[in-house]
Structure 1
Amino acid sequence: MTKAPTPKPATAQGATPAGDRIAKVLSRAGIASRREAERMIEAGEVAVNGKVIDSPALNIGPNDRVTVRGEPVGQPEPARLWLYYKPEGLVTSASDEKGRETVFDHLPEDMPRVMSVGRLDLNSEGLLLLTNDGELKRRLELPSTGWLRKYRVRVKGNPTDPDLEPLRRGITVEGEKFLPMSVVLDRHQGANAWLTIGLREGRNREIRRAINEIGLIVNRLIRISYGPFRLNELQPGQVEEIRPRILRDQLGLTGEASDDLAGAKPAGKPALRRPAKPRSMDSSDPAKRTHTGPTGKFAPRSHASDAKGGKPAAPRAEGAAKPRFSTASAKPDTRPDAPAKPRSFGTAATKTAPRASASQPKRESQPRPVAAGPRPSSKPAAKPGAGPKGPPRGAPAGPKGAPRKPKQR
């Protein structure tokens, strides 16, 4: 008869590592940060498999039972991150020895146990990151991330841009050397001035101490971004959770990540666009575009219709008379030796000649000489040397039945 396997005990320091350190497990479970978990262990508040431990140098496996102050520790949850607008007058720590209110006293009741990433002092406000994962907290606080933290700072006084140059070079305060800051003088407002300051480290009251060193006093300080995460439209006291996909993408970045992904919703599929309508070759001329113009009328038809006998598209000159077009040929002369010639499209030249356009110079009107004799006919004259061979068929008779003589030019 075989015995049931007993759970493997926790591995102490010096033995082969099995699982993770107890402080890391507590941190991943959202109990506390690693440092706070180590202090809890040293205070005798943590037990493994029913035995209280006093050293964080202990590795535990998935079969070990861990309790904190008698309460069992559940399995680690997926890492989550929240953006929180910390109001002025709240303490960032989990508890305050002076009894002041903390940010955790004002969080929604349905939120899990969370920790703050970094700190904001009592009189500061703005973006504060919260997470349920201690490992994520430690990673975001590391200086090696190189994430830029931006602040909007209101100072008392009217500094000039050269006055802020020591902050850009890196100032030393009470023997402590600060890294160079990015400082922009935004505007003056009465007796105050607004600055935008960016830094890549999070020392205690760093901005206030540096500003005070150059002779100015900070009377308002708002953190507006932390790496790729921005305050956006959050109001004081509001909380917004970062979507898992964005959190996953941002954790793979180092340095000053792309700011436009901070707090944004996942991008959906891009909207399909209709192909643009084709335009004519000369798109600078609205009259030659194939789409409707500002008047709602279509442009003239292309010249392809001219080959089919349609109306030509070329516009007439301003003030010109509308020409008459006919698809039928003129009647031929019925005389045997007269060639068939098409009739002129117009009538008399003096009546149908189109007027000159306004762009052409006007000619001086001169009287046209009139030849003596009968009025010339528009019909073609007979060939030279050919005598009259009688009137054409259908010609009207003369006064006494005699045929009418043809007129001569």
Structure 2
Amino acid sequence: MATASDHKPASVEGSKGSGERIAKRIARAGLCSRREAEAWIKDGRVKVDNRVINSPALDVRAGQLIMVDGRLLPEAEPPRLFRYHKPRGVLTTARDEIGRPTLYDTLPPGLPRLMPVGRLDLNSEGLLLLTNDGELKRRLELPVTGWVRRYKVRAYGLTDDQTLGRLAKGIAIEGVAYGPIEARLERYQGDNAWITMSLREGKNREIRRVLDYLGLSVNRLIRLAYGPFQLGALAKRGIEEVPRKVLNDQLGLNIESPHRARTSAASRAKG
């Protein structure tokens, strides 16, 4: 089988006509996100019809031979989405330089290659969506989706609904603007307040930062929902696939059952 080093990189202009961008096609195959695929292309890791390409500005069509790192790109599987109950102390990443447990250390065997939709930081827990499809991941993460993320938060300190109501119109902290957050005091447990919070676009550590600004120190953060998908009674480290019908209904998709057979791309690769 030919490898990328067998051919000099060829600059390929964007082709016209029906097709889809090469990075999108790679993402739909579940290898990575579209952004990662674009980086792979620029690094010369991708071939189309036995030519190394170095620009993601290329549309590919059915029947073209696509290879990544010398291996045939798999056919795009139907998009799948999973609900996962991430525990505390687990990183939402593939690897950690100092050996802390990662998401992929906790997943059971037998699953397809999955990518997280958004993130939960090391000390956060609760609902994390996982998908095999880079394009679906990108779609679910886009701010324009406008889906509400709902959290249950335990924080040390004193507050009330009037103070929490200040977040409803958005707030700026040290030059960073945070969008509207719905926050409601549920109860006190000793010196800790339990608060429910809902927001549509979560910046990095947003909940911890805005509550710290209000004089509260977060010591537990649980994501209960991401749009229409709920944590529910899913046990810690538990994972369940979202039924195809639910995925179609909620996202307006038309995902069919997996194809009975694949194309003869493998035989073309040998030739």
State the TM-score bracket (shorter-chain normalisation).
Answer: 0.7 to 0.9
| Equivalent residue letter for 2:172 | T
Residue deviations 1:24-52, cap 9 Å, x none?
Answer: 00110101110111122222222223333
Are 1:102 and 2:141 an aligned pair? Answer: no
Distance of 1:32 and 1:248 partners within structure 2: 22
Q: Does the residue aligned with 2:95 lie in a helix, a strand or coil?
A: coil
Q: Does the residue aligned with 2:24 lie in a helix, a strand or coil?
A: helix
Contact 2:15 2:59 in 1 (8 A): no
Higher helix share: 2
Q: Which of 1 and 2 has greater Rg?
A: 1
1:38 corresponds to: 38
Residue deviations 1:78-104, cap 9 Å, x none?
Answer: 111100011111111233344433212
Percent identity between the aligned chains? 54
1:202 corresponds to: 202
Unaligned runs of 5+ in 2: 1-9, 254-271
- How many positions carry a matched residue from both structures? 244
The CA RMSD measured in Å over matched residues stands at 1.9
Contact 1:188 1:194 in 2 (8 A): yes
1:71 corresponds to: 71
Residue deviations 1:259-304, cap 9 Å, x none?
Answer: xxxxxxxxxxxxxxxxxxxxxxxxxxxxxxxxxxxxxxxxxxxxxx
Contact 2:14 2:58 in 1 (8 A): no
Give the C-alpha shift of residue 125 in structure 1: 0.6
Unaligned runs of 5+ in 1: 1-9, 254-409
Contact 1:28 1:134 in 2 (8 A): yes
1:291 corresponds to: none
Contact 2:152 2:224 in 1 (8 A): yes
2:269 corresponds to: none
The two structures have a TM-score, normalised by structure 1, of 0.57
Distance of 1:185 and 1:130 partners within structure 2: 30
| Equivalent residue letter for 1:151 | Y
Contact 2:167 2:180 in 1 (8 A): yes
Q: Does the residue aligned with 1:234 lie in a helix, a strand or coil?
A: coil
Distance of 2:14 and 2:38 partners within structure 1: 18
Contact 1:21 1:57 in 2 (8 A): yes
Residue deviations 1:334-358, cap 9 Å, x none?
Answer: xxxxxxxxxxxxxxxxxxxxxxxxx
Distance of 2:82 and 2:105 partners within structure 1: 16
1:159 corresponds to: 159
Residue deviations 1:238-277, cap 9 Å, x none?
Answer: 1000110111111139xxxxxxxxxxxxxxxxxxxxxxxx
| Equivalent residue letter for 1:134 | G
Contact 2:11 2:55 in 1 (8 A): no
**Ranges of 4+ aligned residues in structure 1 off by more than 4 Å:** none
Contact 2:172 2:178 in 1 (8 A): yes
| Equivalent residue letter for 1:56 | P
Distance of 1:201 and 1:174 partners within structure 2: 18
Distance of 1:47 and 1:227 partners within structure 2: 38
Are 1:192 and 2:172 an aligned pair? Answer: no
The two structures have a TM-score, normalised by structure 2, of 0.85
Contact 1:11 1:59 in 2 (8 A): no
Aligned in 2, Cα 1:23/1:96: closer, same or farther, shift over 3 Å?
Answer: farther
Aligned in 2, Cα 1:109/1:248: closer, same or farther, shift over 3 Å?
Answer: same
| Equivalent residue letter for 1:57 | A
